[in-house]
A and B are shown apart, each in its own frame.
Chain A
């Protein structure tokens, strides 16, 4: 990246950078895609290079979400691409969704997170479990970016164990009364609607659509993050919020409902992080050919080649794994455990590549001159959110042994 120009937005100055990324497809995975997939991919990539990568570093450094990109994200289909056209989506397949997430995360995991949440955690549950009236009211506005949504499942004391949630609602006759708090919520401070998971008086988990401006509902921002700095994260606080009865998602209850949304989001992450890995590899490859030490490019050293060769090997494996998962998901056959495996493998792969790429960049790798450290810090969140690295391993363990190792108190 190099600084090309300075521009102002409001009363602040931002640096613009040129994106030198070139795609890497070692095994010709492109041939497994349709012409339309490739057109979508190339269009999203062109948009990212034009409108997103020139500004992303500066926004991340300033720890700000670039709100002005929301209409562009909607235009390129980042909000609910697989939602049917009648509700404002594009009716695309799951591979298209994955491709869009990958191109966004090639630039920044924070921007991909914003789109993932909007698509998989807000539009998906409304589409799958919402009433016709809820779908008509929310989905077209979420697809166009007029509305931003967020998803409230995780609580301060309940992360990997969402079933222990304390957030609850009571039936007051003509409305529900919602109390509790959610934490680590992407998009929450700017959200127009929150899909909130809470227990009813019988302890059964339901989804409620909580709208901005409802009395007793606040969404304070979490500051001082070292990760996902270009995405906005916050809390959701419900202090006797009166939620109209028509805002309850009628289609499904129980923990399976939010977990199905996470399947969709994790699937998008499995695709997305390959983008971050590709960007780190691409930058490391270019840098290593240009950086001269001992009179030769550092790419000519065996230890550098080992790093680069292992990176492209791991990326290639992840590309094939994820493409196959996309086919399974298109056919409605992908299991939660299969999605867990891909999410865990790919995020770990991307994080390791970011660390190796940082070494190849030497001291330059720690600066905002290159995207490496930003990707690395972002991926530290991605490896934890939407199911931690360890929990996904236990999901595979449970799947292959039939024995749960999630808790050790025998329950």
Chain B
């Protein structure tokens, strides 16, 4: 079983978000980066589980980025990926990221390409679908369960009010959501092994970026909680109608 897992990096969830250059750039100073949790906890770990269950095969992680991404790639290797590929390019534009991953993957014969359902920084949810389109493969988004039997994969998607069960034959691209696997913490053996696992840097095949971020702004600060006495439902209605304007 030959599996490709796309990983991206994202600011740690406790990061204090700030911007610079007149709010046109995210300020990376002092920011700790992690592997996007959907990529790491679900896509990568499920890929490893499938390989382990099959008893053979390989899990390759791929990332589009500069050398500053190497620590998060090394962590993916410590968790258990066999090797890693980094496409040496800025990861600014989703189209270019997907295009470059597709360019790399097209003649490698992967049985599946797994991504997280989205990355927790920009929440674009675009890469998986675009890779599938470039490679002319089926794409399944928001998948919470993935099982493989021979050439057939069975996938469960959480949908509004229930679940959807799908079967897909042959190679596919999948966006992994919560529930697909349980996060693995690298153990010391894994960290030691990651030292010598291959991290291949390949040249960028990026074209022109199709999108560009013009400016950033923070969401409005959360307003303080207002307490209304249980004896006074009229006041609550009044506040909801006239102040919060939700009724």
**Chains A and B form a bound pair:** yes
| Residues in A lying within 8 Å of B, measured CB to CB | 22, 28, 35-36, 38-40, 42-43, 46-47, 50, 75-77, 81, 85, 90-92
Q: A77-B187, A77-B188, A90-B189 are in contact. List 10 more A-B contacts (CB 8 A).
A: A28-B30, A35-B74, A36-B74, A39-B71, A39-B191, A39-B194, A75-B188, A85-B192, A90-B188, A90-B192
Question: For B61, what are the chain A residues with a Cβ–Cβ distance below 8 Å?
Answer: none
Cross-interface CB contact of B186 among A28, A39, A90, cutoff 8 Å: A39
Cross-interface CB contact of B187 among A22, A35, A43, cutoff 8 Å: A43
Main SS of chain B's interface residues? helix
Question: For B187, what are the chain A residues with a Cβ–Cβ distance below 8 Å?
Answer: 43, 75-77
How many residues in B have their beta carbons less than 8 Å from beta carbons of A?
A: 16
* Identity of the chain B residue whose Cβ is nearest the Cβ of A89 in the assembled complex: B188
B185 touches A46 (CB 8 A): yes
B185 touches A50 (CB 8 A): yes
Tell me how far the C-beta of B44 lies from the nearest C-beta in chain A, rounded to whole angstroms: 15
B6: interface (CB < 8 Å) = no
B70: interface (CB < 8 Å) = yes
B195: interface (CB < 8 Å) = yes
Query: What CA separation (Å) do A50 and B182 show in the bound complex?
Result: 12
Q: A22-B14, A35-B74 are in contact. Are A40 and B191 (CB under 8 A)?
A: yes
| A–B Cβ pairs within 8 angstroms, 12 of them | A35-B70, A36-B74, A38-B71, A39-B74, A39-B78, A40-B188, A42-B75, A43-B186, A75-B187, A76-B185, A76-B188, A77-B188
| Residues in B lying within 8 Å of A, measured CB to CB | 14, 30, 70-71, 74-75, 78, 185-189, 191-192, 194-195
Which 9 pairs show the lowest CB-CB distances between chains A and B?
A77-B188, A75-B187, A35-B71, A46-B185, A43-B186, A47-B185, A90-B188, A43-B185, A90-B192
Query: What CA separation (Å) do A81 and B194 show in the bound complex?
Result: 16
Tell me how far the C-beta of B35 lies from the nearest C-beta in chain A, rounded to whole angstroms: 11
Tell me how far the C-beta of B189 lies from the nearest C-beta in chain A, rounded to whole angstroms: 8
Tell me how far the C-beta of B215 lies from the nearest C-beta in chain A, rounded to whole angstroms: 29
* Identity of the chain A residue whose Cβ is nearest the Cβ of B70 in the assembled complex: A35
Main SS of chain A's interface residues? helix
Tell me how far the C-beta of B220 lies from the nearest C-beta in chain A, rounded to whole angstroms: 21
A36 touches B195 (CB 8 A): yes
Question: For A43, what are the chain B residues with a Cβ–Cβ distance below 8 Å?
Answer: 78, 185-188, 191
Question: For B189, what are the chain A residues with a Cβ–Cβ distance below 8 Å?
Answer: 75, 90
Cross-interface CB contact of B188 among A22, A35, A46, A81, cutoff 8 Å: A81
Query: What CA separation (Å) do A71 and B195 show in the bound complex?
Result: 23
Question: For A22, what are the chain B residues with a Cβ–Cβ distance below 8 Å?
Answer: 14
Tell me how far the C-beta of B92 lies from the nearest C-beta in chain A, rounded to whole angstroms: 24
Tell me how far the C-beta of A99 lies from the nearest C-beta in chain B, rounded to whole angstroms: 12
Question: For B78, what are the chain A residues with a Cβ–Cβ distance below 8 Å?
Answer: 39, 43
Query: What CA separation (Å) do A76 and B187 show in the bound complex?
Result: 5
Query: What CA separation (Å) do A73 and B193 show in the bound complex?
Result: 18
Question: For B14, what are the chain A residues with a Cβ–Cβ distance below 8 Å?
Answer: 22
* Max chain B C-beta neighbours (<10 A), residue from A36, A46, A92: A36
* Identity of the chain A residue whose Cβ is nearest the Cβ of B194 in the assembled complex: A39
Query: What CA separation (Å) do A77 and B190 show in the bound complex?
Result: 11
Question: For A92, what are the chain B residues with a Cβ–Cβ distance below 8 Å?
Answer: 188
Question: For A85, what are the chain B residues with a Cβ–Cβ distance below 8 Å?
Answer: 192
Question: For B191, what are the chain A residues with a Cβ–Cβ distance below 8 Å?
Answer: 36, 39-40, 43, 77
Tell me how far the C-beta of A32 lies from the nearest C-beta in chain B, rounded to whole angstroms: 15
Question: For B75, what are the chain A residues with a Cβ–Cβ distance below 8 Å?
Answer: 39, 42
Query: What CA separation (Å) do A144 and B141 show in the bound complex?
Result: 41
Question: For B185, what are the chain A residues with a Cβ–Cβ distance below 8 Å?
Answer: 43, 46-47, 50, 76
Tell me how far the C-beta of B199 lies from the nearest C-beta in chain A, rounded to whole angstroms: 12
Question: For A50, what are the chain B residues with a Cβ–Cβ distance below 8 Å?
Answer: 185
* Identity of the chain B residue whose Cβ is nearest the Cβ of A49 in the assembled complex: B185
* Identity of the chain B residue whose Cβ is nearest the Cβ of A22 in the assembled complex: B14
Tell me how far the C-beta of B135 lies from the nearest C-beta in chain A, rounded to whole angstroms: 32
* Max chain A C-beta neighbours (<10 A), residue from B30, B71, B186, B194: B186
Query: What CA separation (Å) do A39 and B70 show in the bound complex?
Result: 12
Question: For B192, what are the chain A residues with a Cβ–Cβ distance below 8 Å?
Answer: 85, 90-91
Query: What CA separation (Å) do A93 and B192 show in the bound complex?
Result: 12
* Identity of the chain A residue whose Cβ is nearest the Cβ of B75 in the assembled complex: A39
Query: What CA separation (Å) do A92 and B192 show in the bound complex?
Result: 9
Question: For A75, what are the chain B residues with a Cβ–Cβ distance below 8 Å?
Answer: 187-189
Tell me how far the C-beta of A58 lies from the nearest C-beta in chain B, rounded to whole angstroms: 22
Query: What CA separation (Å) do A92 and B195 show in the bound complex?
Result: 12
Query: What CA separation (Å) do A85 and B189 show in the bound complex?
Result: 10
Question: For B194, what are the chain A residues with a Cβ–Cβ distance below 8 Å?
Answer: 39
